[in-house]
Structure 1
Amino acid sequence: MNKFSDESVYSFIEYLQIERNYSDYTINFYKKDIEQFALFMNAQGIKSFSDVEYVDARLFVTELYNKKLARASASRKISCLRSFYKFLLREELVKENPFALVIQPKAGVKIPNFFYEEEMNVLFEACMDSTPLSIRNLALLELLYATGIRVSECANIQLKDLDFDFSTILVKGKGRKERYVPFGSFAFDALQTYIHHGARNELMKGQETHQYLFVNSRGGPLTASGISHILKKVIESASLTGKIHPHMIRHSFATHLLNNGADMRTVQELLGHSHLSSTQVYTHVTKEHLRKTYMNHHPRA
């Protein structure tokens, strides 16, 4: 691409970082989507972003469909390029947004998988051991289920983020947004045991002190991939079957709260969702739960 295009992309990325406060993870996707569109432009002989017309945008989307791209991925790319051109319009670098009228594919509602309460109890029992690793794993599992935080958020928790007086934790979420999330008595006890009864210190093994809450077997900070690996091992040891992944604990947190009467706005705030629509997907789970309960217990069902 020419100098104008390179500067446009750089300015847009800077805008996402500073004004929109997007995470590096999200910005990476934006970069890749724009790079893919730039390759398409080169193939079509289009020299500048300002030369792109609506028909070119439609052709790009058609190519996405021809590649059998998932609807969610295609929708994300269209949304990215629409935002990019909206920024270029604001900066008066283009005269129109060729993606403004491009229709995004409607994604079907994907109902999240979750663990039933009985299955969660099986997971907790799989961590009931006196070894430092088992004590850590129980504290990890209890905190994830008690708060519904993401695995990536859990990896960034430091000791100073815990407030045992109020049973709350400071969570640094997507887009560098911070929120306080409460945790219950089971997580409280498991964390106290892990931190204050020697398990964490034993795992540290005299390593240089750091303040991350969860540590690996070598004493270093536990990464998000490390947490996922541990959870998968716990799930395997519990002999649970079916399509299972660690993020289901977050889904279980939200589903169980709603099943037991929590309001949608509260669950949204606890999960750190920017939009209520992200939380509403869990109502499909609760409606199915209500339907099954009704069918099993109503005498006229």
Structure 2
Amino acid sequence: MTPYANRRSRKYLHQLEVIRLFEAARTTGRHGLRDSTLVWLMYRHGLRASEARALTWGQVDFEHMRLHVQRKKKGSPSTHLLGAFEVGALMRLRPEGATPSTPVFINDRGTPLCHSTIYKLIDRAGQAAGLDVRVNTHMLRHSCGFHLTNVLDRQYRKIQKFLGHRDLKHTARYTELDDSKFNDIWDGEIDDPTVKP
């Protein structure tokens, strides 16, 4: 049970809410570039907090614009395309003298961000963004799955590989998150009981 389990009305954010979260992370706190890049990569690549904190510069291929994702929880690794914006942000974030084993997201002491720090900075950004749900780290992964499934209508198998799911049932659950899936179920029927068909 997460601390905010009883306060969340849904488990995902819409993309415009993620953008608001990104903007808030960029302007809240002392590490705007790091924090906003973290938020965007966790969303775009469906990263768990543990996967984001373990990310190293050796997993970032700037020449071919690729991110080599190592999944936790026995998930399948995969290689993702990086967008031009992501590459630019990562290039600005990379410290001079970084080696392939250097973590991408570090604190002031040069060590990987701990899970609680990632959780707090995302929660803080969510509050600063004025979102109507309390945001936690795993919501960004759910938001990625939700958007790929219900907005972009990508194939389940492709999403499964992208998110590193070993079992397709974990991917299929993103259809259950869609609060608009029944919007058209009564299309063409009366919605006023005082009107006779």
Tell me, in whole angstroms, the C-alpha distance in 1 between the residues paired with 2:169 and 2:93. Answer: 37
Distance in 2 (alpha carbons) for counterparts of 1:158 and 1:253:
21
Shift of 1:232: 1.5
Query: What SS class does the counterpart of residue 138 from structure 1 fall into?
Result: helix
Structure 2 residue corresponding to 1:285, chosen from 153, 177, 190: 177
Letter in 2 for 1:187: E
| Identity across matched positions, percent | 26
The aligned runs of 1:131-210 (5 Å cut-off) are 133-173=31-71, 174-175=73-74, 177-195=76-94, 200=95
TM-score by length of 2: 0.77
Query: d(CA) in 2 for partners of 1:165 and 1:247?
Result: 30
Structure whose residues are more often helix by fraction? 1
8 Å CA contact 1:147–1:183 kept in 2: the answer is no
Secondary structure in 2 matching 1:136? helix
Aligned to 2:122: 231
Name the TM-score, length of structure 1 as normaliser: 0.53
Residues 1:214 and 2:105 are matched in the alignment: yes
Q: Separation in 2 of the partners of 1:112 and 1:279? A: 17
| Cα RMSD, aligned residues only | 3.0
Given that 2:48 and 2:137 are in contact with CA atoms closer than 8 Å, whether structure 1 keeps it comes out as no
Contact between 1:148 and 1:253, CA under 8 Å: does it hold in 2? yes
Measure, in 1, the Cα distance between the counterparts of 2:51 and 2:113.
11
Q: Aligned pair 1:260/2:152, yes or no? A: yes
Query: Secondary structure in 2 aligned to 1:240?
Result: coil
> Which structure 1 residue ranges, 5 or more long, are not aligned?
1-69, 71-110
Pick one of 1, 5, 14 that aligns with 1:116. Answer: 14
Distance 1:241 1:130 in 2: 18
Distance 1:224 1:131 in 2: 17
1:117 aligned partner, one-letter code: Q
Q: Hey, what's the Cα distance between the residues in 1 that align with 2:153 and 2:166?
A: 21
How far the C-alpha of 1:295 sits from its partner, in A, is 7.1
SS in 2 for 1:181: strand
What are the superposed Cα offsets for residues 248-286 of structure 1, whole Å, 9 maximum, x if unpaired?
000000111112121101111111111001111101124
Deviations 1:133-174 (A, max 9, x none): 101111111111110011101111110110123322122222
- What letter matches 1:171 in structure 2? V
Structure number with higher relative contact order (C-alpha < 8 Å, ≥ 6 residues apart)? 2
Residue matched to 1:18: none
SS of the residue corresponding to residue 175 of structure 1 reads: coil
Q: Is the 8 A contact 2:123 2:136 kept in 1?
A: yes
1:255/1:282 contact within 8 Å kept: yes
Name the aligned partner's letter for residue 211 of structure 1.
Answer: T
Counterpart secondary structure, 1:180: strand
In 2, Cα distance between the equivalents of 1:267 and 1:132? Answer: 35
Q: Distance in 2 between matches of 1:236 and 1:122?
A: 10
**Structure 2: how far apart are the matches of 1:112 and 1:281?**
13
Unaligned runs of 5+ in 2: 2-8, 192-197
Counterpart contact for 2:11–2:139, Cα < 8 Å: yes
Structure 1 position 242, deviation (Å): 2.7
Task: Give the alignment of 1:15-34 within 5 angstroms.
Answer: none
After TM superposition, give the deviation of residue 238 of structure 1 in Å.
1.3
Misfit runs of 4+, over 6 Å? none
Amino acid in structure 2 at the alignment position of 1:181: H
The answer on whether the counterparts of 1:127 and 1:138 sit within 8 Å (CA) in structure 2 is yes
Deviation at 1:183, TM superposition (A): 3.0
Per the alignment, residue 273 of structure 1 pairs with: 165
What one-letter code is carried by the residue in structure 1 that aligns with 2:172?
Q
Residues 16-165 of structure 1: pairs in structure 2 closer than 5 A: 113-129=11-27, 133-165=31-63
Distance in 2 (alpha carbons) for counterparts of 1:227 and 1:246: 7
Q: When the two structures are aligned, how many residues end up with a matched partner? A: 179
